Amino acid sequence: MGVHVRSTVNGDAVEFTCPEDEVLLDVLRNRLGLTGAKEGCGTGDCGACSVILDGRLVCSCLVLGAEMDGKVVETIEGMADGAKLHPLQQHFIDGAALQCGVCTPGFLMAADALLRKNPDPTEEEIRFGLAGNLCRCTGYDKIVRAVQAAAKEMRG
Amino acid sequence: MRYEMPTTAKAAAGLLAKEKGRAFVLAGGTDLLVKMKAGVVEPDLIVDIKAIKGMKDIKKSAGGFVIGAAVPCVALSENAALTKAWPGVVEAANLIGSKQVQGRCTMSGNLCNASPAADSVPALIAAGAKVSIISAKGSRKVAVEDVTTGVGRTSLKKGEFVTAIELPAKKPKSGDAYLRFIPRTEMDIAVVSCAVNVSLDAKGMITKARVVLGAVAITALLVKDAASAIVGTKLDDAAKAKLAAACSAACKPIDDKRGTVEFRTEVAGVLARRAAEIAYARAGGKQ
Amino acid sequence: MSLDSMNPALVEKHFKVIGTRVARPDGVDKVTGRARYGADAAMPGQLVGLVLRSPHAHAQIVKIDISKAVKLAGVKAVITSADFPDHTQGDRGMMDILENCMARGKALYDGHAVAAVAAIDAATARKALKLINVTYKILPHVTDVDEALQIHAPVLHPHIYTEGLSEKPTAASNWNKHGEYGHGDVDAGFKEADMVISRSYKTEQTHQGYIEPHSALASVSPDGSAEMFVCTQGHFVYRNQCATLLGLDANKLRVTASEIGGGFGGKTHVWAEPLALALSRKANRPVKLTMSREEVFRCTGPTSSTSIDVKIGAKKDGTITAAWAELRYQGGCFPSNWAELGAMTAFACYDLKNVKTVSKDAVVNRPKTAAYRAPSAPMAAFAVENTIDEVAKAIGMDPIDFRIKNAAKQGTKSSYGPVYGPIGIGPTLEAAKNHPHMKAPLGKNMGRGMACGFWFNFGGQTCVDVNVTPDGNVTIAQGTIDVGGSRASIAMAVAEELGVTYNQVRSIIADTSSLGHNDMTDGSRGTFSTSKAAIFAARNAITVLRDRAAKIWEIPASEVEWRDGAAHAKGVNHGNRTPLSLKEIAAQAGQTGGPIAGHAETVADNAGVSFATHIADVETDPETGRSLIKRYTVIQDAGKAMHPSYVEGQYQGGAAQGIGWALNEEYVYGKDGRLQNAAFLDYRIPVCSDLPFIDTQILEIPNPNHPYGVRGVGETSIVPPLAAVSIAVTNATGVRQTHIPMSPPRVLKSLKTKKK
């Protein structure tokens, strides 16, 4: 039983077998050891499990592992370039844009997806771009500012 | 549970027809997987249609647009011609869920999930959209308003599935708009919604209108009285008042955790007025 | 503890580390996905635990048949209340906690646990739950606080007789506690008034809404020792409670706290953790039990829904002559004292001659409530501040001037008893009055509201170890959970004391077998109490360092002083000695007496009360009743902001939670007593696009009872928003808003009353 899947995760070729009804989030966390994506709801309402799938931001709780054959997945574990943090990661730390941090991986993936599409977003575009990610600690203030600062740095 | 990813529509239809247990079509999965998580549905077979040729394409022709059943809603807004022709439809589709959900969810799924609060459905009905349905026996086309028959129920027969949604070509001096009411600015299900599509004559008089309400009955409501209220007018205040009253009168809502009968009935009229103003302006009308 | 440590003059000293915005030690792990939260750990051979829960609000459990579930292949343990013999020794509070973890005889709310299973995987565990057959006899239920207090309401517990009345009641009821606070003569006060306003208010139940669901990984060994990796605000408290409930020795249960994905009070006592331990004990395998989001909403501890009456009288000159309130709070299905806390906080911002508050705590068929950030105060402030606003307007006075005139100050006898020391209510009000926000023009359909809030703050039991490493750096073991950056703040305090850089100091959260008991991180105590203990521990370490330097120099320790990270010899005989740095002393520790450390244990009393004033601008659509926050300002006294970014973060986060509560968050129960919106989809916490930037202004009125003047800052920020936002909506619409949340249907309906 189960589906045999080959895909690329953070640039690495991976191979796994999972039950037909297992979601990508569980594959990442329980089969591939990538626990950076979190299950905050399991229903696509909180964004804590956000990953980038073939270039599109998705909730990994709303994707089946079985669908992954031949697909390319990017997760928080692949965001930094070795020891060098991505500008978004660095600005989240410097700008105190995280408190408990459980939503942070999802926010970083969502912000990354936003900036790839729109390198110079307005405050409103950032707020709506991140509306699928819930944060209960920060009131979003420092998150939006960190994304603005990272975007500015990335534009050079 | 079995998972199949056929490469032709015919094969998909065959799998669905053959399955004796509960079979579900998977496009974006943003409704299906939530229901599976909650234990509301336990599929025996899932047929993923994303590998079928054309399912992820948007095709433009003289006759309009053909939108494959697996086109994620975010791709609609990335299509400039579609966005220009049917801004109301694209806006409606882009209100479904979050950016994350947008990357997966489809209008066909939104339609077949058959929720009374589906965002894209009123806009599609207002636009006069049709759906292509295929089965092992052949294919057929029906109007979008003929698909949903009740909460979670559609007119699709066993073995049938939607392959595409077809939007007509945009008529000159026409415009559409969709508005929904939600308590927050994002991430909510529509408490009440309204789509309006109008065509104008050279003088700005409304010649044709389609007004559709969502989340106020078991299916989206095409409100003929609301359309007649504004046809033959330049959307003056009296016409808007008649429109709002017709919409409120057509509502058959329920009290639930998202809103009350009273609230939905009143706000349906408010949204109809506001959506009509946008659609009228998009059609080139000046108030 | 040395006397100078309590000297407020120290607060004036020039800090080198305190007040800077250093990077948190857990930052890189949290932005790279490496940080381990409750569900992120694994043990060899672990099983999956799942809980079967009552679908009924109130029901007798006639029979539980687990025989089929037990036989299912892959099921390793099935437990019910029969697996929890009573070890509570008559402690009714502990028994309530146990009964909440697993129903005993009666299911008291929709979601109450009735059985649990451990199986080799989630699919098997889910199947096993379906095979458990529970026979219920459904009983009448009550979920509303006012209905629960009615004479004919269904009674939840036959053993509850109202506490706090002068005569013991003759019958059991849902009214578990009566309380009274205040001073003076309110009847006489109301007679003196030129204007008296009475109003009734309601607030609905809300949840802390932390993003991380509860998760515990438990392993009980046949020799009676056990370990647990768990997300919690207080792993020592979890250790103590679990040990008691399972009959384990506390020293044999080692609890390690995971990173915590938010708590806000909701992770202050145990929910499913004892079940994970009991399953592990029965299965003889590690068990991981992680709640679903639905379980978090249905089965953990939200805050109370309330019903509050307020009456305030004032003279035309703006003097409040009397203030009275009755506060009725439901605490869920077990006794609580949330109404009492509400009664204590209700009028705490004001200097009142005549004040009286009455509290009524009730049980209902809802989940056992837990603390939620300044528990009970936001609802009381909502009711009181609205009435204050109305009285001010009725006598023709600006509401901010009215508040300034009546604000409590140093020496005021508070409405709940104690006399205040130096406090910040007056300064926050003056700052609000002078804030540019107050003068900014308002657009169409907009209204502005301002309101004040108070929270006690708490200290509690704390201990800290400071250890100097052989290479001259410093580690700290703290026992309070870091919920908002306290590891950084504690390291800053120790760096400040030792005179070294922040980067030389690193703090970790020690497990329960590595430190003495620590109270949990609640009551805004984390940074206040832990930094206090850490400062004392660092000073004890400095004593050791001075001794070692004295030994190296062969001079008396009294002739060595510590400054700028080094020992300095003092006095005419030794003045020419080169100072010995921490690094140099550490390197010789093996020759001078062994490892260098400082320890401190304290009950950190006198946390220093906290006050805030908030300003909110709201735009309300008159045709739909929907309100949007257009501008928001938080002004709060921090005592001393150790890490200003994290203080701002607490102000902004609390305000955002309060805004969500004010506008959209609420538990919706059906007539069947079942919770209808146990998901983030319909339990609507604010999303990013709902909020503007939240401006903050930190005031620093030193707390004389902390070496640096620190006060707790975590909770007060949630107290004013319900009031500030509702007053803003009132001003935008012209209709007094008396029911929280101000959801669009509720506001639109209220506007109808105006039209009539």
Does the pLDDT at position C709 exceed 90?
yes
Percent of chain C with pLDDT over 90: 96
Q: Is C202 left (phi over 0), alpha (psi -120 to 50) or beta?
A: beta
Question: Which residues are within 8 A (CB) of C410 and not within 5 positions of it... i.e. 6 or more apart?
Answer: C420, C421, C422, C423
CATH value at residue C212: 3.90.1170.50
- Select from C292, C661, C682 the residue whose CB has the most chain B CBs within 10 Å, as the one to mutate to test that interface: C682
- Give a yes or no: residue C428 inside a domain: no
| C577 and C649 inside one domain | no
Quick check: A21 and B104 CB within 8 A?
no
- Give a yes or no: residue C278 inside a domain: yes
Q: What is the mean pLDDT of residues A87-92?
A: 98
Which structural domains are found in chain B, ordered by start? 2-168 (3.30.465.10), 174-282 (3.30.390.50)
| Closest Cβ–Cβ partner in A42, A76, A89 for C293 | A42
Q: Identify which has the larger pLDDT, A1 or B93.
A: B93
| Residue-by-residue DSSP string for A35-92 | TTS--S-SSSSS-TTEEEETTEEEEGGGSBGGGGTT-EEE-GGGTSBTTBPPHHHHHH
Q: What is the mean pLDDT of residues C201-217?
A: 98
Question: Mean pLDDT of all residues in chain C?
Answer: 96
- Domain residues for the domain of A108 are 87-155
CATH value at residue A60: 3.10.20.30
| C579 and C650 inside one domain | no
Spatial distance between the Cα atoms of C50 and A5, rounded to a whole number of angstroms: 28
C272–chain A nearest CA distance, Å: 17
Query: What is the pLDDT at residue C605?
Result: 85
Burial class (CB in 10 A: 0-12, 13-18, 19+), C506: middle
The pLDDT confidence band at residue C48, using thresholds 50, 70 and 90, is very high
**Is C36 at the interface with chain A, CB within 8 A?**
yes
Query: What is the pLDDT at residue A20?
Result: 97
| Closest Cβ–Cβ partner in B38, B39, B270 for C624 | B270
Pick the range with the lowest mean pLDDT from B83-97, B252-266, C9-23, C487-501.
C9-23
For residue C461, report the phi and psi dihedrals to the nearest 5 degrees. -75, 130
Query: What is the pLDDT at residue B90?
Result: 98
| A60 and A36 inside one domain | yes
- Domain residues for the domain of C228 are 38-140+208-299
Which residue, C299, C331, C360, sits at the end of a domain? C299
- pLDDT, tens digit (0-9, with 9 covering 90-100), for C94-120: 999 999 999 999 999 999 999 999 999
C629–chain A nearest CA distance, Å: 12
Quick check: B46 and A53 CB within 8 A?
no
Q: Is the peptide bond before C741 cis (omega within 30 degrees of 0)?
A: yes
C660–chain B nearest CA distance, Å: 10
- Give a yes or no: residue C468 inside a domain: yes
Query: What is the pLDDT at residue C755?
Result: 64
Quick check: A103 and C657 CB within 8 A?
no
- Pair of tokens at residue C380: 């009381």
Does the pLDDT at position C383 exceed 80?
yes
- Select from A18, A140, A143, A147 the residue whose CB has the most chain C CBs within 10 Å, as the one to mutate to test that interface: A140
| A19 and A69 inside one domain | yes
All residues of chain B having their beta carbon less than 8 Å from the beta carbon of residue A56 are 72, 74, 103-104
C80–chain A nearest CA distance, Å: 27
**Number of structural domains, chain A?**
2
Q: Is the separation of the CB atoms in C19 and C642 below 8 Å?
A: yes
> Taking CA atoms, what residue in A is nearest to C210?
A136
All residues of chain C having their beta carbon less than 8 Å from the beta carbon of residue B186 are 687, 689-690
Q: What is the mean pLDDT of residues C307-328?
A: 98
Does the pLDDT at position C54 exceed 80?
yes
| Closest Cβ–Cβ partner in C680, C684, C749 for B183 | C684
- Give a yes or no: residue C495 inside a domain: yes
C698–chain A nearest CA distance, Å: 16
Which residue, A78, A100, A122, sits at the end of a domain? A78
- pLDDT, tens digit (0-9, with 9 covering 90-100), for A40-63: 999 999 999 999 999 999 999 999
Burial class (CB in 10 A: 0-12, 13-18, 19+), A151: buried
| C490 and C582 inside one domain | yes
| C518 and C622 inside one domain | no
All residues of chain B having their beta carbon less than 8 Å from the beta carbon of residue A7 are none
Spatial distance between the Cα atoms of C579 and C564, rounded to a whole number of angstroms: 10
Measured from the Cβ of residue C420, the count of other Cβ atoms closer than 10 Å reads 17
> Taking CA atoms, what residue in C is nearest to B185?
C690
- pLDDT, tens digit (0-9, with 9 covering 90-100), for C657-672: 999 999 999 999 999 9
Cα C489 versus chain centre, distance:
19
C-alpha to C-alpha distances, C331 to C98, C325, C678, nearest whole angstrom: 16, 19, 19
- Give a yes or no: residue C120 inside a domain: yes
3-state secondary structure of C79: strand
**Number of structural domains, chain C?**
3
Spatial distance between the Cα atoms of C43 and C288, rounded to a whole number of angstroms: 9
Query: What is the pLDDT at residue C572?
Result: 72
CATH value at residue A94: 1.10.150.120
Does the pLDDT at position C161 exceed 60?
yes
All residues of chain A having their beta carbon less than 8 Å from the beta carbon of residue C290 are 39
- Pair of tokens at residue C469: 């490493």
Which residue, A20, A50, A78, sits at the end of a domain? A78
Which residue, C299, C324, C350, sits at the end of a domain? C299
The pLDDT confidence band at residue A1, using thresholds 50, 70 and 90, is confident
Does the pLDDT at position C640 exceed 80?
yes
C120–chain A nearest CA distance, Å: 14
A66–chain C nearest CA distance, Å: 17
| C564 and C709 inside one domain | no
User: What subunits touch chain A, counting only 3 or more CB pairs under 8 A?
Assistant: B, C
| C595 and C627 inside one domain | no
Q: Is A90 left (phi over 0), alpha (psi -120 to 50) or beta?
A: alpha
- Select from B100, B104, B182, B187 the residue whose CB has the most chain A CBs within 10 Å, as the one to mutate to test that interface: B100
- Give a yes or no: residue C263 inside a domain: yes
| Closest Cβ–Cβ partner in C33, C211, C485 for A136 | C211
Which residue, C299, C315, C342, sits at the end of a domain? C299
| C261 and C128 inside one domain | yes
| A66 and A95 inside one domain | no
Whether ipTM > 0.90 holds is yes
- Give a yes or no: residue C304 inside a domain: no
pLDDT in tens, chain B (287 residues): 999 999 999 999 999 999 999 999 999 999 999 999 999 999 999 999 999 999 999 999 999 999 999 999 999 999 999 999 999 999 999 999 999 999 999 999 999 999 999 999 999 999 999 999 999 999 999 999 999 999 999 999 999 999 999 999 999 999 999 999 999 999 999 999 999 999 999 999 999 999 999 999 999 999 999 999 999 999 999 999 999 999 999 999 999 999 999 999 999 999 999 999 999 999 999 98
| Residue reference for tokens 């206090």 | C532
| A51 and A114 inside one domain | no
Quick check: C687 and B187 CB within 8 A?
yes
The pLDDT confidence band at residue C9, using thresholds 50, 70 and 90, is very low
- Select from C24, C26, C28, C32 the residue whose CB has the most chain A CBs within 10 Å, as the one to mutate to test that interface: C32
| Residue reference for tokens 């209340």 | C81
- pLDDT, tens digit (0-9, with 9 covering 90-100), for A95-130: 999 999 999 999 999 999 999 999 999 999 999 999
**Is C260 at the interface with chain A, CB within 8 A?**
yes
- Select from C290, C292, C748, C749 the residue whose CB has the most chain B CBs within 10 Å, as the one to mutate to test that interface: C748
Spatial distance between the Cα atoms of C708 and C528, rounded to a whole number of angstroms: 10
> Taking CA atoms, what residue in A is nearest to C646?
A96
| C491 and C577 inside one domain | yes
| Closest Cβ–Cβ partner in B1, B101, B187 for A21 | B1
Query: What is the pLDDT at residue C2?
Result: 39
| A114 and A95 inside one domain | yes
All residues of chain C having their beta carbon less than 8 Å from the beta carbon of residue B184 are 664, 684, 686-687, 689-690
The pLDDT confidence band at residue C754, using thresholds 50, 70 and 90, is confident
The pLDDT confidence band at residue C756, using thresholds 50, 70 and 90, is low
Spatial distance between the Cα atoms of C515 and C478, rounded to a whole number of angstroms: 8
All residues of chain C having their beta carbon less than 8 Å from the beta carbon of residue A126 are 688
| C488 and C564 inside one domain | yes
| A12 and A69 inside one domain | yes
A131–chain B nearest CA distance, Å: 6
Quick check: B185 and A110 CB within 8 A?
no
Torsion sign across C-alpha atoms C102, C105, C108, C113: positive
All residues of chain A having their beta carbon less than 8 Å from the beta carbon of residue B183 are none
| A96 and A125 inside one domain | yes
DSSP structural state of residue B38 = H
| C614 and C733 inside one domain | yes
> Taking CA atoms, what residue in A is nearest to C715?
A137
| Closest Cβ–Cβ partner in A42, A102, A139 for C655 | A139
| C43 and C109 inside one domain | yes
- Give a yes or no: residue C158 inside a domain: no
Query: What is the pLDDT at residue C7?
Result: 47
Query: What is the pLDDT at residue C13?
Result: 65
CATH value at residue C498: 3.30.365.10
| A45 and A97 inside one domain | no
Query: What is the pLDDT at residue C3?
Result: 38
- pLDDT, tens digit (0-9, with 9 covering 90-100), for C718-732: 999 999 999 999 999
The pLDDT confidence band at residue C10, using thresholds 50, 70 and 90, is very low
Spatial distance between the Cα atoms of C201 and C736, rounded to a whole number of angstroms: 10
| C616 and C635 inside one domain | yes
Quick check: B185 and C689 CB within 8 A?
yes
Report the largest interatomic distance among the alpha carbons of chain A, rounded to a whole angstrom: 51
Question: Which residues are within 8 A (CB) of B46 and not within 5 positions of it... i.e. 6 or more apart?
Answer: A20, A21, A64, B1, B2, B3, B4, B23, B24, B25, B26, B32
Query: What is the pLDDT at residue C14?
Result: 86
| Closest Cβ–Cβ partner in B28, B43, B100 for A50 | B100
Does the pLDDT at position C12 exceed 60?
no
Which residue, A78, A95, A120, sits at the end of a domain? A78
